[in-house]
Amino acid sequence: MQLTLTSCEVRSWRMGDAEALARHGNNRNIWLNLRDAFPHPYTPHDAREFINSLRHRAPETTFAIAVNGEAAGSVGFVLRHDVERVSAEIGYWLAEPFWGRGMATEALVAITRYAIATHHLTRVYALPFAWNTASCRVLEKAGYTLEARLRRSAIKNGVITDQLQYAFVVPETAAINAGDPPRRGSPD
Ligand SMILES: CC(C)(COP(=O)(O)OP(=O)(O)OC[C@H]1O[C@@H](n2cnc3c(N)ncnc32)[C@H](O)[C@@H]1OP(=O)(O)O)[C@@H](O)C(=O)NCCC(=O)NCCS
């Protein structure tokens, strides 16, 4: 899979990305805002294991964010099951040198559209920690709406925290096609 965007590319992970993944992922400022499944420190071995584990996963739902050809972040979604099979939870991170250039927002818009179109979803949601103002801003810029504050729902780095629930909801009358930008509230 490959989505060529203005500032970056969202594409399948490759084994050759391991070195860049470990170098960029080994960052406490990133780890502090992600689930504990994201390693810290992030070693080359962790990077190889991660990329290798994706090879056997179908459908493909976790992708590299590449800048100038080099893996510089990750964006992925978890498809829910059973009666929630029209929903997916999305997550992402970007290498710190590239923060503040709109890349995460562009990647999030593209992958939201991809997830909805490919898996016939009605809803994609994210659960940033309440302190993560940058991620909340990214979600808002990508058309997600704040739905709820999940009080004292998580513990990170030994601190109990609220999580904020943001969702991109496809309106009842809309059908998002792979080529269309995801727009909230306007049927496509
Ligand atoms: C969150 C993250 C992906 C944002 O990436 P990015 O490419 O810098 O995001 P963008 O440039 O698209 O947008 C960032 C926005 O947040 C704003 N922002 C950044 N830090 C901020 C802060 N401390 N307070 C308020 N706004 C902030 C920026 O000004 C920008 O908004 P603007 O365009 O209105 O000026 C990146 O910081 C990251 O990887 N963080 C660690 C991992 C993480 O938090 N992942 C998300 C888990 S839910």
- Whether 116 is in a domain gets the answer yes
Dump pLDDT digits (tens) for 99-146.
Answer: 999 999 999 999 999 999 999 999 999 999 999 999 999 999 999 999
Q: Is the pTM of this model over 0.95?
A: no
Containing structural domain, residue 38: 2-121
Tally the domains of the chain.
Answer: 1
Please report, for residues 80, 135, 150, 160, the alpha-carbon distance to residue 153 in angstroms, rounded to integers and kept in the order given. 19, 18, 6, 7
Q: Which residues pair with 148 in a beta bridge?
A: 165
Residue 146 domain-assigned (yes or no)? no
Chain segment 26-64, per-residue pLDDT in tens: 999 999 999 999 999 999 999 999 999 998 899 999 999
Do 115 and 167 touch, CB atoms closer than 8 A? no
Report the atom number in ligand 1 closest to the C-alpha of 126: 48
Domain with residue 99: its CATH number is 3.40.630.30
- Tell me if 135 CB under 6 Å of ligand 1: yes
